[in-house]
Amino acid sequence: MQRRKKALRWMIGLFFAILLVLTFLSSTIQGLSLPKVSVDKPKTGGLELTVSGEGFLQPAYTAQLYAKGDWTVVKILKNKNDRVKRGDPLLTFDTSSTQRTLEDEQARYDQQELQLAKLADQLKTMLWNDDTAGIDNQKRDIEAKRLDLQMQKRKIDDLKQQIADGGTLTSPVDGVVTAINASEGVAAGRGQPVVEIAADSSGYQFSVVADRNDASALRIGDKVSIQLEETPRRNIEGKISAIEDAAADARGAGAESGAEETNKKITFDVKEAKLQPGLKASVSITSTSHSFGMQIPKSALHQDNSGYYVFTVKEKDGPLGSAYYVSKTYLRIQDENKDTVVTDGMMPNEQFVTASSEPLGDGDRVRY
């Protein structure tokens, strides 16, 4: 009898032990089937914003020089990329055609002087004969001829000045020759600049395209360090002269439609003597956003009709240990860059899901 009771107790104990093991195994197997998540805690502070890029120096102002007449180029004295000083001769023209025109106009002037003298003699005769009716008309003719002489004199003076100033084309500024649009022995085109010079006094510019959020902390007038691709490399000071919406063609052919709204074109001014147009320049600016809050990677963000949210992990105690559940936590985005957002709506110690093996829903149980 005693043996049977002992065996019964042993069997009951074994039954509950087996039940406990099966329950534990069932819980373990169920746990292994749950979505596996990776979690992290938000960092506190402002975003690090980086704007970087490179471009080629272009003159802020280019002096365009034109021929003063339809003249043939005799001699080109400077070449492209030559550095010049104000007053340096650039090329010479054959002004003989304008010189001949000047001689013709001078001859017309001499003819008009003779005509004026003749009119004056006729007036004297009229006065001697007391020809009252003809005197007034003669005086008007003389005044008209004097006006013709004045106009002819101005035309001659202009031609003389044109020959004196235009026979040799000189540089009006210190700078670098960026283009020579002429050939020796060929007439210079009237509508096209013969020589173009990048003026040192105006400085140089280059532009980069950056994400709108990364550029949000930059201001026109900010001073920056610019690296020039010279040998050896060197840094010079520049400043931001313009921040504007980037044009669609600046994004490249692979950019998505509407992406220009998220990009800014930033123009930098550089003023230093002896720079060359086309010199490669680069810039890298790191700043901190004005917003302060919890930093969340954009990859952890989700969106529905109610706004942006992350899945936060809650721990609940159970008879077989702790269980973990996710819930939607909605956030208000204060600032962002390409990878991260600054938000409020979370506590510093809250854990949020950064990756999941399966799609999640509000209230799902997970493992990690």
Compute, in degrees rounded to 10, the torsion defined by CA atoms 331, 334, 335, 338: 20
* pLDDT greater at residue 25 or residue 181: 181
Q: Quick check: 255 pLDDT over 60?
A: no
**pLDDT class for 195, splitting at 50, 70, 90?**
very high
Q: What is the pLDDT of residue 311?
A: 93
How large a percentage of the chain has pLDDT more than 90? 21
Please, what is the angle between helix 132-166 and helix 96-128, to 10°? Answer: 160
Q: Which of 193, 233, 245 is nearest to 63 (CA)?
A: 193
pLDDT of residue 239: 93
Give the model confidence (pLDDT) of 76-85 as tens digits.
Answer: 999 998 989 9
Q: Are residues 213 and 235 in the same domain?
A: yes
Name the 3-class secondary structure at 150: helix
For 135-163, the pLDDT digits (tens) are 878 888 888 888 988 998 998 888 888 78
Which DSSP string corresponds to 163-209? HHHHSEEE-SSSEEEEEE---TTSBPPSSS-SEEEEEGGG-EEEEEE
Say how far apart CA 314 and CA 312 lie, in whole Å: 7
Which of these three, 288, 310, 338, is where a domain ends? Answer: 288
Joined together, the tokens standing for residue 157 give 């003076």
Choosing from 255, 288, 321, the residue where a domain stops is: 288
Cis peptide before 348 (omega within 30 of 0): no
| Same domain (yes/no): 232, 280 | yes
Which has the minimum average pLDDT: 61-70, 167-176, 246-255?
A: 246-255
CA distances from 26 to 12, 32, 36 (A): 21, 10, 18
CATH number at residue 360: 2.40.420.20
Query: Would the pLDDT of 251 be above 60?
Result: no
Instruction: Give pLDDT tens digits for 304-323.
Output: 998 999 999 988 875 556 78
Same domain, 265 and 214: yes
Residue 272 lies in a domain: yes
Q: In whole angstroms, give the CA distance from residue 56 to residue 62.
A: 16
Q: Which of 96-105, 109-118, 248-257 has the lowest mean pLDDT?
A: 248-257
The predicted-structure confidence for 48-58, as pLDDT tens digits, reads as follows 788 999 999 98
Question: Under a CB-based contact definition with an 8 Å cutoff, are residues 352 and 346 in contact?
Answer: yes
Q: Which two tokens stand for residue 64?
A: 């365009």
Q: Which residue has the higher pLDDT, 13 or 293?
A: 293
Number of H-type helices and E-type strands within the chain: 3, 24
Residues 88 and 173 grouped into a single domain = yes
What is residue 112's three-state secondary structure?
helix
pTM of the model: 0.57
Q: Which of 240, 273, 288 is a domain's end point? A: 288
* Same domain? 283 vs 231: yes
Judged by DSSP in three states, 342 sits in strand
- pLDDT, residue 158, reads 84
pLDDT at residue number 319: 57
Domain holding 90: CATH number? 2.40.50.100
Residue 287's pLDDT band (boundaries 50, 70, 90)?
confident
For residues 265 and 313, state if they share a domain: no
Dist CA 205 CA 278 (whole Å)? 10
Handedness of CA 110, 112, 115, 119 (dihedral sign): negative
**pLDDT of amino acid 284:** 92
Structural domain that includes position 107: 97-158
Average of per-residue pLDDT across 247-261: 48
pLDDT number for residue 288? 78
Model confidence at 199, in pLDDT bands (50, 70, 90)?
A: confident
Say how far apart CA 8 and CA 14 lie, in whole Å.
10
CATH number reported for the structural domain that contains residue 56 in this entry: 2.40.30.170
Residue 296 near residue 41 (C-beta atoms within 8 A): no
Mean pLDDT across 333-354 = 83
Residue 90 pLDDT greater than 90, yes or no: yes
**Quick check: 108 and 155 in contact, CB under 8 A?**
no
Residues 105 and 181 in one domain: no
Does residue 55 belong to any structural domain of this protein? yes
In this structure, the answer to whether residues 86 and 118 fall within a common structural domain is: no
For residue 20, tell me if it sits in a domain. no
Residues 302 and 321 in one domain: yes
Domain count of the fold of the chain: 4
213 with 336, same domain: the answer is no
Q: Note the pLDDT of residue 17.
A: 61
Q: What is the structure's pLDDT at 1?
A: 59
Q: Does residue 114 form part of some domain?
A: yes
Name the burial class of residue 44, with classes exposed (0-12), middle (13-18) and buried (19+) by CB atoms within 10 angstroms of its CB.
exposed
Residue 177: the pLDDT is 92
Residue 81 lies in a domain: yes
- For residue 237, being part of any structural domain is answered with yes
How many residues are given for the chain? 368
Candidates 299, 361, 302; CA nearest to 331 is: 302
**Do 104 and 151 sit in the same domain of this protein?**
yes
For the purposes of burial, counting CB atoms within 10 Å of the CB of 73, is it exposed (0-12), middle (13-18) or buried (19 or more)? buried
In a domain, 110, yes or no: yes
**Please, how many CA atoms are within 13 Å of residue 84, restricted to the half-sphere of its CB?**
27
| Element holding 236 (H helix, E strand) | strand 234-245
Same domain, 235 and 194: no
Tell me how far apart the alpha carbons of residues 33 and 25 are, in angstroms, rounded to a whole number: 12
Taking CA atoms, 239 is separated from 115, 118, 220, 226, 235, in Å, by 67, 71, 8, 9, 13
Q: Is residue 10 part of a domain?
A: no
